[in-house]
């Protein structure tokens, strides 16, 4: 125990101490650490979803369209829709001033709910951590020496003041993502339940599909079957709710040069994409 505490102190003094491994996924744990160090100031608009919402939204562009809103990007990496709904509920419970939620989806978010445990983290532990509780106990409770050392020397995540996670690079990594799998009934049910919950709370929900890179579509969806199926399934899942669905994948052609892979945008392109979402969906236009 003494050696481990000494290691943490040394990493902290060197500016290398990673966050506690609440999820053992560094990009999620780093986002939690960001929220602890930069508590949101009464946000009014919440962006949620997987990494496409985290990486592809520039919340400052929302503020540029309406300076009276206070957006927070509450998206995390690698989440299926049931997990995104879990995180969104956790944030809405903590931040009662939220009036509007934007959920960004792609086919991959809708096809892995069976294999994805809904509870991404322990809400009591993370809630206390975000509220400023001493973090030492969490390094012991979620002890993983390999992850601690790997994350200490590995790539660090950067965040905007709003919690966006910029991919500020000129590199392209290929398509990365393979063919889509069908949406799982469990994922569609999770989306419906989330929309009903937001409606019950009086929160306006906007759901938008993420356009996939044209090269991916030529390779894996040349007849637009996957795109059309996703739009129809989302529409059916949201049909009996007041949630607004925008099939941006069908209506917006994003230049291939804007992508780093099939689904993620480089930071220089996110402002244009976000402004299009705002103008099209109206998200962020009401105070």
Task: For residues 168 and 67, give the distance between their C-alpha atoms in angstroms, rounded to a whole number.
Answer: 25
pLDDT of residue 17: 85
* Cα 267 versus chain centre, distance: 15
Per-residue pLDDT of the chain (287 residues; tens, 9 = 90+): 777 778 778 887 778 788 999 999 999 999 999 999 999 999 999 999 999 999 999 999 999 999 999 999 999 999 999 999 999 999 999 999 999 999 999 999 999 999 999 999 999 999 999 999 999 999 989 988 788 888 887 778 999 999 999 999 999 999 999 999 999 999 999 999 999 999 999 999 999 999 999 999 999 999 999 999 999 999 999 999 999 999 999 999 999 999 999 999 999 999 999 999 999 999 998 76
| Residue 200 confidence (pLDDT) | 98
Could you give the domains of the chain? Answer: 26-129+157-281 (3.40.50.1110)
Q: How far is it, in rounded angstroms, from Cα 270 to Cα 203?
A: 25
CA 183/CA 109 separation, integer angstroms: 8
At which residue do the structure tokens 């989440």 appear?
Answer: 79
What local confidence, expressed as pLDDT, does residue 278 receive? 96
DSSP summary character for residue 107: G
Note the pTM of the prediction, 2 decimals: 0.94
Instruction: Classify residue 67 by its DSSP letter.
Output: T
In 3D space, the residue among 96, 64, 63, 59 whose CA is nearest the CA of residue 74 turns out to be 59
Give the tokens for residue 166. 């910029």
Beta carbons of 24 and 66 less than 8 angstroms apart: no
**pLDDT at residue 51 in the model:** 97
Here the tokens at position 63 are: 């503020």
φ, ψ at 48 (rounded to 5°): -135, 165
Residues 6+ apart with CB under 8 A from 46: 71, 72, 74, 88, 91, 92, 95, 98, 100, 101, 102
């Amino acid at each position: 125990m003494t050696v481990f505490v000494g290691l943490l102190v040394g990493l902290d003094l060197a500016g290398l101490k990673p966050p506690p491994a609440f999820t053992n996924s560094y990009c999620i744990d780093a986002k939690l650490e960001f929220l602890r160090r930069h508590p949101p100031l009464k946000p009014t608009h919440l962006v949620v979803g997987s990494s496409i919402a985290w990486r592809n939204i520039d919340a400052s562009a929302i503020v540029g369209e309406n300076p009276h809103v206070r957006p927070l990007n509450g998206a995390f990496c690698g989440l299926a829709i049931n997990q995104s709904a879990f995180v969104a509920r956790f944030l809405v419970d903590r931040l009662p001033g939220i009036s509007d939620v934007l959920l960004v989806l792609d086919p991959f978010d809708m096809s892995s709910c069976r294999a994805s445990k809904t509870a991404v983290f322990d809400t009591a532990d993370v809630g206390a951590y975000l509220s400023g509780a001493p973090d030492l106990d969490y390094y012991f409770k979620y002890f993983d020496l390999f992850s601690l050392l790997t994350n200490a020397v590995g790539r660090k995540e950067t965040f905007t003041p709003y919690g966006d996670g910029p991919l500020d690079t000129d590199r392209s990594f290929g398509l990365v993502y393979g063919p889509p799998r069908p949406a799982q009934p469990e994922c569609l049910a999770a989306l419906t339940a989330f929309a009903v919950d937001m409606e019950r709370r009086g929160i306006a929900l906007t759901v938008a599909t993420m356009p996939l890179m044209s090269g991916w579509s030529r390779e894996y969806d040349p007849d637009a079957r996957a795109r059309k199926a996703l739009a129809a399934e989302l529409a059916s899942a949201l049909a009996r709710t007041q949630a607004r669905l925008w099939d941006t994948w069908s209506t917006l052609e994003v230049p291939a040069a804007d992508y780093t892979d099939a689904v993620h945008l480089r930071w220089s392109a996110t402002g244009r994409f976000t402004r299009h979402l705002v103008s099209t969906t109206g998200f962020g236009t009401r105070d």
